């Protein structure tokens, strides 16, 4: 009897896993998983608005589900890797798109210069305005950054980059004189034409028509048209009043140097735009 009395009762010391989980939830070490446990939890700790992830409600170490925990960790790591890979892919695609757009702009510029280089009215101002209008009117949708400058819509760096690339690729020689910038075809002028017919096969007629419309137009006229077109597009987007009076007001508000133009010149340009359908959609 003495030996039996002193012998430990193994049954009494056995820990019931379900009881352990219930006690741990009751004292706040685990989250409740049903309405009854939630009611007990709120009696002790009050109500909480914190939302906990599902995997914290069923700890793997209590359920003996170590493999599931490992799989969850692997799945989480895989998702992180896939997300990181996706971000890298987006950046690569974005960089490639910008690079391709840059070359497309250069090719379009080469076509404009090739068609107009003999015209005495063709210089930097007319060049930039035609690039802007070709992209907008012909719906080419190249990545451009035309902002509001004194001379109208302008991408501040674009024309300098184009001139440098023309010289580098030997498509054109570019010279500056008292009368502005002049372009002459260089030894590799035929190179750009291969790309032009490929990139702009769906807009060839539109681009040619637009260039012809401006062939004999002076730089001032091109500046007025490009500025009005920019204002017109802006008014549409911002749901502002679109009429001749609003264009004239917006034109003179653009920059002090716009006041050198007569109101009759602006009205005449607007009429010409309507007549030739040089208007935003």
Q: What is the pTM of this model?
A: 0.64
In the predicted model, is pLDDT for residue 12 greater than 50? Answer: yes
- 157, HSE (Cβ side, Cα atoms, 13 Å): 3
Domain positions in the chain are 18-59, 98-217, 218-281
Amino acid 116: pLDDT: 97
Mean pLDDT of the residues in the chain: 79
**DSSP state for residue 246 in the 8-state scheme:** H
Amino acid 177: pLDDT: 83
Burial class, 24, CB count within 10 angstroms (exposed 0-12 / middle 13-18 / buried 19+): middle
> Do 210 and 225 contact (CB within 8 A), yes or no?
no
- 76, HSE (Cβ side, Cα atoms, 13 Å): 7
Amino acid 48: pLDDT: 55
Amino acid 13: pLDDT: 52
Q: Which residues pair with 38 in a beta bridge?
A: none
* For the chain, the helix, strand and coil percentages under 3-state DSSP, each to the nearest 5: 65, 5, 30
Q: How far, in Å, CA of 18 to CA of 64, rounded?
A: 12
Q: Work out the number of other CB atoms within 10 angstroms of the CB of residue 221.
A: 19
Amino acid 146: pLDDT: 66
> Do 130 and 210 contact (CB within 8 A), yes or no?
yes
Give the three-state DSSP class for 183. Answer: strand
* Per-residue pLDDT reduced to its tens digit, 43-74: 666 665 555 555 555 555 445 555 555 665 66
Of 36-40, 80-84, 176-180, 219-223, which one has max mean pLDDT?
Answer: 219-223
* Per-residue pLDDT reduced to its tens digit, 203-234: 999 999 999 999 999 999 999 999 999 999 99
Q: Work out the number of other CB atoms within 10 angstroms of the CB of residue 112.
A: 22
Confidence class of residue 178 from pLDDT cuts 50, 70 and 90?
confident
Which of the pair, 17 or 101, is modelled with greater confidence? 101
Amino acid 88: pLDDT: 45
Q: Output phi, psi for 264, to 5 deg.
A: -65, -35
Which of the pair, 96 or 279, is modelled with greater confidence? 279
Tell me the mean pLDDT in the region 12-39: 63
Give the three-state DSSP class for 153. Answer: strand
> Do 186 and 173 contact (CB within 8 A), yes or no?
yes
């Amino acid at each position: 009897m003495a030996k039996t009395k002193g012998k430990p009762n193994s049954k009494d010391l056995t820990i019931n896993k379900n009881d352990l989980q219930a006690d741990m939830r009751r004292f706040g070490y685990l989250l409740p998983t049903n309405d009854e446990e939630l009611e007990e939890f709120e009696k002790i700790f009050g109500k909480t608005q914190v939302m906990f992830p599902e995997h914290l409600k069923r700890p793997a170490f209590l359920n003996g589900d170590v493999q599931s925990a490992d799989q969850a960790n692997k799945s989480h790591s895989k998702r992180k890797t896939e997300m990181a890979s996706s971000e890298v892919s987006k950046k690569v695609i974005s960089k490639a798109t910008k690079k391709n757009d840059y070359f497309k702009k250069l090719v379009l510029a080469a076509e404009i210069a090739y068609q107009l280089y003999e015209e005495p009215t063709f210089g930097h101002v007319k060049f930039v305005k035609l690039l802007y209008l070709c992209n907008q009117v012909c719906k080419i949708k190249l990545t451009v950054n035309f902002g509001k400058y004194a001379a109208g819509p302008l991408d501040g760096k674009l024309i300098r980059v184009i001139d440098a690339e023309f010289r580098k690729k030997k498509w054109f020689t570019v010279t500056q004189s008292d009368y502005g910038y002049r372009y002459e075809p260089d030894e590799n002028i035929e190179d750009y034409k291969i790309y032009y017919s490929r990139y702009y096969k769906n807009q060839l007629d539109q681009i040619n028509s637009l260039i012809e419309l401006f062939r004999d137009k002076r730089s001032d006229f091109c500046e007025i048209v490009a500025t009005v077109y920019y204002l017109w597009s802006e008014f549409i987007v911002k749901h502002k009043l679109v009429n001749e009076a609003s264009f004239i007001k917006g034109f003179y508000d653009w920059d002090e140097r716009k006041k050198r133009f007569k109101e009759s010149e602006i009205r005449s340009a607007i009429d010409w735009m309507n007549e030739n359908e040089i208007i935003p959609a």
